[in-house]
Amino acid sequence: MRLDTTDAPAKHAAKTLVIATAIALYAIAFATFTNLAVAADDTVAANSTKAAVPGTTTAARRPNIVFIFSDDHAWQAVSAYGESRRLLDTPNIDRIAKQGVRFDRCLVPNSICGPSRATVLTGKYSHANGFYNNTNSRFDGTQTTFPKLLRGAGYQTAVIGKWHLVSEPTGFDHWHILPGQGVYYNPPMIRDGQNVKHQGYVTDIITDLSVEWLKGRDKTKPFMLMCQHKAPHREWAPALRHLGHNGDRVYPEPDTLFDDYAGRGKAEREQDMTLAQTFTPLDAKLATPAQLNAEQRAQWDAYYGPRNEAFRKQNPQGRDLVKWRYQRYLHDYLGCIKAVDESVGRLLQFLDDEGLADNTIVMYSSDQGFFLGEHGWFDKRWIFEESLRTPLVVRWPGVAKPGSVNNDLVSNVDFAATFLEAAGVAAPADLQGPSLAPLLRGQTPQDWRQSFYYHYYEFPGPHSVRRHYGVVDRRYKLVRFYEPQVDAWELFDLEKDPREMRSVYGDPAYAETAKRLHAELDRLRRELKVPDPDPAETEIRLGPPAKNNPAKKNPAKNNPGINNPGKNNPGKNNPEKNNPEKNNPEKNNPGKDNPGKDNPGKDNPGKDNPGKKDSGTNRAGKDEPANTNPAQNAGTAKQASGAHTVLSNVVLSAAR
């Protein structure tokens, strides 16, 4: 029918008809699009679950997963492991071990924060997932991760706490993360792309947010929660309620506290991670964190003030100074772990209260081990035992035998395959770690690994630990340092020399062992497809890292590779010259790691609400929205844009 444009009523009626037709077509198109999207999601879920492993639970009873991950938690500081110093009781972490399996040889492939997190997500080594170091690596969020696969199979997924991978999280229904390393008191965070501010202590806040998400979840679906703590990362700032938790206990010193590194090589002698040379005023709590509010500062000063004054009067030097630093270090470090253990207890209690415990896997681990004064060191990075080995306890009711102890060589590269098998989701063929599920059932496969490959890349960088790789078996450890300035081999007999004090490489008595381990190392490098030489992206660029760090507008200031309090110059950290009473705490804030400056909105959260009561124990209130991240929900926006384009074209066609 041809419309007469001179007839106003007819013209109005025609327009009305066109608009009505357009709306109807829009509704039909929208319904069609929605049905297609649902069908696509169902297909993904079906494809992900159709290859369920025999013996796993059915889809109707797929287990929930709670993965609790701390940062730098040494196995020596988990009481379930029974380390000789008996440093701390961790009853809640121990409860997981008592009700499940304690793994005594869980090793990491690259002992540093970001790379370990990338390995957990992907089930791959650093060279395969592309995240080599904390200085200039950026996680490629487009690659396959176990959260993506679980989400595609119908799981609700969330990550809350420390992320530390530069790019925004992908594969999660919800994420609420710390920017970069995060700060201990009144931390800024990023919630699904939006900057927010919190009041309180970081471990408590992460726990609160985790419980809140669990309470608000869709109870018709299984869930996977990654609760990831900042603690006990350097500078080891405890919850204020835990100041003095040890009653001024004097901790036993490790017998290698004053190691002179004889019997080893240049790499061990020229590092920068000793209590003697690298310990800063903020590490020692002789400087005060900038983000404390007035009430928190008063509690801090009440504890540290008199003790710091006594230290200044004593003015210890040399070995006495190292001994003092060791005691202060352990008080603070272990105080951080007390809050983590309390967090574990709260999560376990929630699962009990909600009737979820019997169908929920709970795994506790850390991104790597940590030195607690052994060899005079703090930090990690090395292939040596305190750094290489991380705590791992797993509870899986009905599957894992309570109170079991496993001594097989396992790794965080195995976590992804484990979670996928437990959920009945087929694991990608390119995963480099096997599932721990058979071991949790008490059945070690005959072909389980008998050796393990390690590779550390971050040099030059914080603490000046040289690049090295090596192979570890049940007794021996063969290591190669491969920098031009330090090109050397070392071999350790862990049975005769458990503290790794003397390399026996070149000793004729170990010639056959060295030959065997060289061949095994070559085999592992071939099978894992380790590039040789190192790829160009492993080179440390001293300028700013990749842009668009969700943690901050200026990623260079938030780069943990730059945040080395020692600044990698042992010559400037002579303990005799590093007397904190002569230092300005503001100038000595380590590595520019002033938590107050780490706020994405450049706000000092400690000053945002000085009048609100906050002991640093609990959150003092709800989080407040801050500036919106321009990259917020990029993946969702892209999908929405595609849908909007299709529907808009329908409407425009109808209106023409």
In the prediction, which pLDDT does 168 show?
98
> In which residue are the tokens 């357009």 written?
22
- Given strand 174-178, what is the order of strands in its sheet? 404-406, 101-103, 392-395, 360-366, 64-70, 223-228, 156-162, 174-178, 188-191, 194-197, 624-628
- Asked whether the predicted pLDDT for residue 552 surpasses 50, the reply is no
Q: Is the pLDDT at 44 greater than 80, yes or no?
A: no
What's the average model confidence in pLDDT over 412-430? 98
Q: For the chain, give the mean pLDDT.
A: 82
Cα–Cα distance, 504 to 486 (Å, whole number): 18
Q: For residue 39, what pLDDT is reported?
A: 38
What is the per-residue pLDDT for 60? 55
CA distance 374 to 87: 14
Whether the predicted pLDDT of 314 surpasses 60: yes
What is the DSSP-derived secondary structure letter of residue 65? E
Q: Which two tokens stand for residue 430?
A: 């390119």
**The dihedral of CA 123, 437, 105, 524: what is its sign?**
negative
Two structure tokens written together for 331 = 């008080």
Q: How many residues would you count in the chain?
A: 656
Cite the DSSP H helix spans in 123-180. 126-129, 146-152
| pLDDT tens readout for residues 602-627 | 333 333 333 333 333 333 333 333 33
Dihedral angle of Cα 600, 603, 605, 610, to the nearest 10 degrees: -170
Give residue-wise pLDDT tens across range 439-462.
Answer: 999 999 999 999 999 999 999 999
User: Left (φ > 0), alpha (ψ -120 to 50) or beta: where does 544 sit?
Assistant: beta
The average pLDDT across 26-49 equals: 39
pLDDT of residue 393: 99
Distance CA 606, CA 104 (A): 41
Extract the tokens encoding 216.
Answer: 């608000």
Q: Which of 34-43, 50-59, 525-534 has the lowest mean pLDDT?
A: 34-43
Q: Is the pLDDT of residue 559 over 90?
A: no
pLDDT grade for 256, boundaries at 50, 70 and 90: very high
pLDDT of residue 617: 35
Which tops the pLDDT comparison, 257 or 541? 257
pLDDT value at residue 615: 36
CB-count burial class (<10 Å; 0-12, 13-18, 19+) for 526: exposed
Q: What percent of the chain clears pLDDT 70, i.e. is strictly above it?
A: 73
> Does residue 95 surpass a pLDDT of 80?
yes
**How confident is the model at residue 627, as a pLDDT?**
35
The model carries a pTM of 0.78
Q: Count CA atoms closer than 13 A to 380's CA, side-chain side.
A: 32
Least confident of 6-15, 39-48, 184-193, 611-620: 611-620
How many Å apart are CA 176 and CA 392, to the nearest integer?
Answer: 24
Report the 3 state secondary structure along 438-486.
HHHCCCCCCCCCCCEEEEECCCCCHHHCCCEEEEECCCEEEEEEECCCC
